[in-house]
């Protein structure tokens, strides 16, 4: 890994820094505890004007067409500045899938709303009996004239209560091998027959939902790619830069906030528990390791032009397990003050109650996006060449 920017990369980094220094101050707010920051329309417009809502997308589709290293620099500087991001599933999954596999009609209809930041998308993948083994999903879509009729249930649908559209995997050929009978759909979340029910997590916030489909009619023109080829679309969606640098930097920043609190506040238990000094140092070193993993991944992508494989699984597993250790240390540092959360009021609420929320929320980190068990299997088989169990 070459840690030095090229002249062109250094100029781009300075451009991003200058933009953030000028435009960000009025936008800087603590992320809400529900996990869904809602950037202002003004901030969204500023990013859209520079094509930075979807900076990785090709220019012909309204993106900034950034190189892998430019994407890394952009994500790095945005994370360092704690700037709110716009897009989520819409820019990271739905848009890239449409760019690669969608029809021109689909691109014209859906990409503008993503690029403006107006449209929120959700992802209809997991089901109550199909999580890690996603290909076993049972939600059915049956062709009926110019429509498909969808029946079934999805779960853990992040942002489903806010979304206008869903990217949906549904089974269209129940007799085919499980990977070969799945089709990829765009579903209007306002369609008759869709019911969204909230799932409240242990941190008492509403991110996830379960979504029920009862005779929901989806136009055949909303199929992305070919019928029964949805699994392969889901697996081969264009892979943009996935170094996870934002998460690594965010973890380090949270540790820095803890250290600052420990030094300045009488509410810290540090004076009574000197071993916490060692824990904080260990967490800080571990956050540095997570950043180095991000550097390795982006270096591979830039050099070899291929998405990270088992290296991404290493970074995901390490980073999410680190989150849990970080907030466990934070709760020790706060003692009884750790019972206060973001809903508590008063000047004596440490760090605005973030630690309690993150401590509870981080339990899900090693489950969502691929469990640690799945990541270990990928690392063992694809990274170490071990046989499958």
How many C-beta atoms lie closer than 10 Å to residue 61's C-beta?
16
Per-residue tokens: 157: 């649908």
Helix, strand, coil percentages for the chain (3-state, nearest 5): 50, 15, 35
CATH superfamily of 7-86: Acyl-CoA dehydrogenase/oxidase, N-terminal domain (1.10.540.10)
- For the CA atoms of 273, 275, 278, 280, what is the dihedral angle to 10 degrees? -30
**pLDDT confidence of residue 239:** 55
Tell me which CATH code domain 121-229 carries: 2.40.110.10
Helices (H), 191-307: 230-236, 245-264, 275-304
Q: Do domains 7-86 and 121-229 have the same CATH topology?
A: no
Nearest one of 333, 324, 318, 257 to 288, comparing CA atoms: 318
- Burial of residue 349, with CB atoms counted within 10 A of its CB: 0-12 exposed, 13-18 middle, 19 or more buried: middle
H or E element at residue 187: strand 182-188
Report the distance separating Cα 382 and Cα 384, nearest Å.
6
When the candidates are 3.90.245.10, 1.20.140.10, 1.10.3720.10, 3.30.70.2190, the CATH number that belongs to 245-383 is: 1.20.140.10
Which residues are marked as active site?
A: 241
**pLDDT for the residue 240:** 53
* Tokens standing for residue 287: 């956050």
Hey, what are 248's tokens?
Answer: 């690594």
Largest Cα span, the chain? 72
First to last CA, the chain: 34
CA nearest to 268, candidates 355, 358, 360, 359? 355
Tens-level pLDDT at each residue, the chain (389 residues): 778 899 999 999 999 999 999 998 765 555 454 556 677 888 999 999 999 999 989 999 999 999 989 999 999 999 999 998 888 899 988 999 999 999 999 999 999 999 988 899 999 999 998 887 889 999 999 999 999 999 999 999 999 999 999 999 999 999 999 899 999 999 999 999 999 999 998 988 899 999 999 999 999 999 999 999 999 988 766 555 556 778 899 999 999 999 999 888 888 888 888 899 999 999 999 999 999 999 988 888 887 666 667 888 899 999 999 999 999 999 999 998 888 887 777 777 888 888 999 999 999 999 888 889 988 998 999 999 999 76
Name beta bridge partners: 180. none
Q: For the chain, what are the domain ranges?
A: 7-86, 121-229, 245-383
Smallest CA-to-CA distance from 352 within 251, 265, 247 is with 265
Structure tokens at 385: 């060449």
How far apart CA 80 and CA 102 sit, in angstroms, is 35
pLDDT score for 300:
84
User: 243-274 burial by CB neighbour count: b if 16+ within 10 A, else e?
Assistant: bbbbbbbbbbebbeebbebbeeeebbbbeeee
């Amino acid at each position: 890994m070459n840690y030095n920017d090229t002249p062109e990369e250094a100029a781009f980094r300075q451009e991003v820094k200058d933009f953030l220094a000028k435009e960000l101050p009025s936008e800087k707010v603590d992320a809400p505890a529900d996990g869904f920051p809602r950037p202002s329309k003004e901030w969204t417009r500023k990013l859209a004007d520079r094509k930075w809502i979807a900076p990785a997308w090709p220019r012909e589709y309204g993106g900034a067409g950034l190189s892998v290293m430019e994407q890394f620099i952009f994500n790095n500087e945005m994370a360092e500045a704690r700037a709110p991001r716009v897009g989520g599933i819409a820019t990271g999954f739905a848009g890239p899938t449409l760019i690669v596999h969608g029809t021109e009609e689909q691109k014209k209809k859906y990409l503008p709303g993503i690029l403006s930041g107006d449209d929120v998308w959700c992802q209809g993948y997991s089901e109550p009996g199909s999580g890690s083994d996603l290909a076993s999903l049972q939600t059915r879509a049956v062709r009926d004239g110019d429509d498909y009729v969808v029946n079934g249930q999805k779960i853990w649908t992040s942002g489903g209560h806010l979304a206008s559209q869903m990217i949906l995997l549904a089974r269209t050929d129940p007799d085919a091998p499980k990977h070969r009978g799945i089709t990829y759909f765009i579903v209007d979340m306002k369609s008759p027959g869709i019911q969204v029910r909230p799932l409240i997590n242990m941190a008492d916030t509403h991110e996830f939902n379960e979504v029920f489909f009862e005779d929901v009619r989806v136009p055949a023109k909303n199929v992305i790619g070919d019928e029964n080829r949805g699994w392969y679309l889901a697996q081969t969606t264009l892979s943009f830069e996935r170094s996870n640098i934002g998460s690594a930097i965010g973890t380090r920043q949270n540790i820095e906030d803890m250290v600052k609190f420990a030094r300045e506040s009488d509410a810290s238990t540090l004076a009574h528990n000197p071993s916490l000094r060692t824990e904080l140092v260990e967490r800080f070193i571990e956050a540095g390791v997570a950043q180095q993993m991000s550097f390795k991944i982006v270096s591979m992508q830039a050099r070899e032009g291929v998405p990270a494989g088992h290296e991404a699984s290493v970074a995901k597993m390490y980073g999410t397990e680190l989150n849990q250790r970080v907030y466990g240390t934070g709760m020790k540092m706060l003692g009884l003050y750790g019972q206060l959360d973001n809903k508590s009021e008063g000047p004596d609420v440490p760090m605005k109650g973030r630690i309690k929320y993150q401590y509870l929320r981080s339990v899900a980190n090693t489950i969502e996006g691929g469990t640690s068990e799945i990541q270990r299997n990928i690392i063992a088989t694809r990274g170490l060449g071990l046989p499958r169990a």
